[in-house]
Amino acid sequence: MKHMGNVHLMVTNICDLYFARMRRQVYFTPKSYLSYLQAYKKLYIIKYQELDVQESNFKIGVNKINEASIAIADMKKVLSQEELKLKDASDKTEKMLRDLEVEQKAAEKIEAEVNLVAQKCEK
């Protein structure tokens, strides 16, 4: 409230300065000072409520960020497990492809032999 008293004193000084320059009297009464205080109080309450809303939104945002970081950590664990499964499946697929290549070469060899026998039979 010390600040409010200074404001009242400043307004009084400005009223005196206005009188000195313009030769017109302006009065700042205790009633106008009290209405000023009331207006200040209303403004203070409004701004305080705005800050409360901002604080609430900030806390909600921080909580969501924390939840997201926990979810990301869980997803990283699942991803690492899935990568291991994928590596195993990839290794098995590569082995199966190598086995199929060997079997295909053997089948081509047998096919060549069968073609030779078929040609001999035709002659």
DSSP per residue, 92-117: HHHHHHHHHHHHHHHHHHHHHHHHHH
For residue 92, the model assigns a pLDDT of 92
Q: Specify whether the CB–CB gap between 8 and 28 falls below 8 A.
A: yes
Integer Cα distance of 61 and 69 in angstroms: 12
For residue 84, the model assigns a pLDDT of 92
For residue 7, the model assigns a pLDDT of 74
Q: Which residues of the chain have pLDDT under 50?
A: 1
Identify the DSSP state of 98: H
For residue 9, the model assigns a pLDDT of 81
For residue 121, the model assigns a pLDDT of 81
The pTM of this model reads 0.48
For residue 1, the model assigns a pLDDT of 46
For residue 46, the model assigns a pLDDT of 97
